[in-house]
């Protein structure tokens, strides 16, 4: 179905881009994701004789290339023939280069985070926030934000939480997001007798996430594959410590033992140990959270920097196409 997905995207997007191009010609097509968008963008850019950019985001390189030889071949085609490929992490860039077998120039451009928007200091204290979100002040929230799919490690998280419930009876696990595994997770929670301790809050507006991050004790993401997740950057910006799987670009963001705790993907025992360590030491939790925000500030991981990096990529490609040196 992935081949048909690309074909239908091409059929849907191409007429729209042609109409836009007639109204006011553009010079660059930037596709977000190597597949399917990058493949489609490359074909259309070639048709219009303009330059193309594709950003590798994680699932395209880590997951789709494993689906079939056909998908792998199309991925290589995008990586080799696109004007400029970027990646959201160093780990992803290295993996993309390895796929091609060539010395490709893949630029690492980290995605930003709105540090002004995701700032715990700009809100009421945690107790007041808990009340606002429907919790009593004595509750301690373990938070997940993202799609409810197996690849995000949601089952490992639920099982890990079940192991610490007796030790920390005031804790609740909150899933913010939707996905195909929701009903199965609900059933698992009921089988474990945790239906009162596990809350499925549903999808929330992006601007509202800062309330959930700030009200929580710790944010957990146990994905099997990732780039550099926005969820972790947003949580860290809100001075929250994170527990995250050692995968993709996550170790480029989370400093183990300082801004969060890194665990092995697929593990339940290691997240249990990490939760006990943080929930049992509020001072450590607070220090990690403060350090996490400091890391983001020091590395200047904001959207303006991301936008400027892409602007420079566009200018470089356009100068090369026109033969100009400045």
pLDDT digits (tens, 9 = 90+) for 166-193: 999 999 999 999 999 999 999 999 999 9
Is residue 154 pLDDT above 90, yes or no? yes
157, containing H or E segment: helix 154-164
For residues 296 and 239, give the distance between their C-alpha atoms in angstroms, rounded to a whole number.
Answer: 10
Which residue is associated with the tokens 């997770």?
A: 185
Give bridge partners of residue 176 from the DSSP assignment. 145, 202
Q: What is the pLDDT of residues 82-132, one digit of tens each?
A: 999 999 999 999 999 998 887 788 999 999 999 999 998 766 688 899 999
Q: Are 44 and 17 in contact (CB under 8 A)?
A: yes
- Give all domains of the chain, ordered by start, each with its CATH number: 2-112+303-322 (3.40.50.2000), 120-294 (3.40.50.2000)
State the pLDDT at residue 39. Answer: 93
DSSP three-state, residue 158 = helix
pTM attached to this predicted model: 0.91
**Residue 1 pLDDT grade (very low, low, confident, very high; cuts 50, 70, 90):** low
Phi-psi domain of 146 (left: phi exceeds 0; alpha: psi -120 through 50; beta: other): left
pLDDT at 326 (0 to 100): 47
- Quote the CA–CA distance of 41 and 30 in Å, as a whole number: 7
Count Cα atoms within 13 angstroms, Cβ side, for 106. 31
């Amino acid at each position: 179905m992935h081949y048909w997905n690309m074909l239908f995207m091409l059929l849907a997007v191409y007429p729209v881009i042609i109409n836009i191009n007639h109204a006011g010609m553009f010079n660059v097509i930037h596709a977000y994701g190597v597949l399917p968008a990058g493949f489609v963008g490359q074909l259309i850019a070639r048709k219009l004789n303009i330059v193309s950019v594709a950003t590798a985001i994680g699932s395209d390189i880590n997951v789709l290339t494993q689906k079939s030889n056909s998908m792998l071949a199309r991925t290589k085609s995008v990586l080799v023939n696109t004007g400029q490929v970027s990646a959201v992490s160093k780990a992803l860039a290295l993996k993309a280069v390895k796929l091609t077998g060539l010395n490709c120039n893949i630029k690492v451009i980290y995605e930003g985070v709105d540090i002004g928007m995701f700032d715990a200091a700009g809100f009421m204290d945690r107790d007041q926030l808990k009340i606002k979100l429907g919790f009593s002040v004595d509750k301690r929230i373990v938070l997940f934000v993202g799609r409810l799919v197996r690849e995000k490690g949601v089952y490992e998280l639920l099982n890990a939480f079940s192991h610490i419930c007796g030790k920390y009876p005031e804790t609740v696990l909150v899933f913010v997001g939707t996905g195909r595994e929701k009903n199965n997770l609900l059933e698992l929670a009921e089988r474990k007798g945790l239906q009162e301790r596990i809350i499925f809050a549903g999808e929330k507006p992006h601007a509202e996430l800062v309330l959930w991050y700030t009200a929580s004790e710790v944010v957990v993401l146990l994905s099997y594959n990732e780039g550099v997740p926005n969820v972790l950057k947003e949580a860290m910006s809100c001075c929250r410590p994170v527990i995250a799987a050692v995968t993709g670009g996550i170790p480029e963001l989370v400093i183990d033992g300082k801004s969060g705790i890194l665990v092995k993907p697929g593990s339940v025992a290691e997240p249990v140990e990490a939760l006990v360590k943080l929930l049992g030491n509020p001072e450590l939790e607070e220090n990690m959270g403060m350090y996490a925000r400091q890391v983001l500030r020091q590395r200047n991981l904001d959207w303006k920097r991301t936008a400027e990096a892409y602007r420079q990529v566009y200018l470089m490609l356009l100068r090369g196409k026109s033969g100009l040196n400045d």
